[in-house]
Amino acid sequence: MPNEQLDTIRKNLAENPIFPTDANLDQIREIFDNMGNSLPQTINISDTIISEQKFSGMWLEVKDMEPQRAILYIHGGGFVIGSPKSHHELMSRLAVSVNAKVLGLDYRRAPENTFPDPIEDIMRATDGCLNQILNPNKL
């Protein structure tokens, strides 16, 4: 990207911040979680929140369809912000476009949790998915 375009993006973000400059982390997380609601919502999706001993998250799948595979979706956010809620629409679109059941992992985030907690959650969710799916090649 040319420097001129990057400078324009930086200027626009400085003039119109996504998050209020005085927002605390909980407020930033809430704003980020609600950003996904501004997208047109995919219909015909069922979601189930799971909270198991080993990990928590949200399963999404297309209603009235038999999923052919599963996706373990690990959202972005630098292990600080983001959640299955903030990425719900993206996961819904994945489920529809590839006919998959999608697990959005709600891993433990910093700074409340430290390394390697989120990585352990990812590994537990991977193991949990593999144990629930008869054919591991479909994950």
Class of domain 24-138: alpha beta
Interval 71-82: pLDDT, tens: 999 999 999 999
pLDDT of residue 117: 95
pLDDT of residue 54: 81
pLDDT of residue 51: 86
pLDDT of residue 124: 92
Assess whether the previous peptide bond of 84 is cis (omega < 30° from 0): no
pTM of the model: 0.81
Token pair of 76, please? 């972005």
Interval 103-132: pLDDT, tens: 999 999 999 999 999 999 999 999 888 877
Least confident of 32-41, 58-67, 80-89, 106-115: 32-41
Non-local CB neighbours of 61 within 8 Å, separated by 6+ positions: 45, 46, 67, 95, 100, 101, 102
**Order of strands across the sheet that contains 100-105:** 45-51, 56-62, 100-105, 69-73
CA 72 to chain centre: 10
Domain boundaries, the chain: 24-138
Banded pLDDT at 11 (limits 50, 70, 90): confident
Banded pLDDT at 135 (limits 50, 70, 90): low
CA 89 to chain centre: 9
Non-local CB neighbours of 109 within 8 Å, separated by 6+ positions: 77, 79, 80, 81, 82, 118
pLDDT of residue 66: 85
Q: What is the mean pLDDT of the chain?
A: 88
